[in-house]
Amino acid sequence: MKKSILLLAVLGMATFAKAQSDKEEIELMQAAFGMDKKTVVNEFVKPSDTQKDAFWKLYDQYETERKALGKERIDLLKQYAAQYKSMTAEQADAWTKKVMDLQKRTDKLITSYYDKVKGVSDAIVATQFYQIENYILANIRAEILEQVPFLEKKK
């Protein structure tokens, strides 16, 4: 399981590392990441036979919304990469507020889909979904933080 999650984190970073690429390449990387991620989710989240169709339909909807937020994350990383060496205090504040807002919206998305998944399955399946999504997200966030250079105060 941990190998699969590590692979996802690396693939996720590949998506972010390609942030300088064009839109089509980003979409291709997100699609590849999404397929690998779905395999991991399938290993961990275990809806019953009667719940599977409804769960995977919701999961696909969730992934569509998550990918939109992922594109925003890529845009913010591109902005940071372009500005971090000369970023002003005002730019840093604006950028950080956008990152914090995006993080809140991402967490809210997972929470809202927990409720939706619970509605078509049960609390066990919903908790499995919540756990794996947060585990993957935490690993990707940690990998991004390791790769992004810290902002230095200008002298």
pLDDT in tens, 91-145: 999 999 999 999 999 999 999 999 999 999 999 999 999 999 999 899 888 888 8
pLDDT for 16 equals 46
Give this prediction's pTM: 0.77
What is the Cα–Cα distance from 151 to 148, expressed in whole angstroms?
Answer: 9
What is the Cα–Cα distance from 61 to 144, expressed in whole angstroms?
Answer: 25
Q: What angle do CA 55, 56, 59 make, to 5 degrees?
A: 90
Assigned CATH class of 2-147: mainly alpha
What is the Cα–Cα distance from 101 to 90, expressed in whole angstroms?
Answer: 17
Domain map of the chain by residue range? Answer: 2-147
pLDDT for 18 equals 46
pLDDT for 139 equals 87
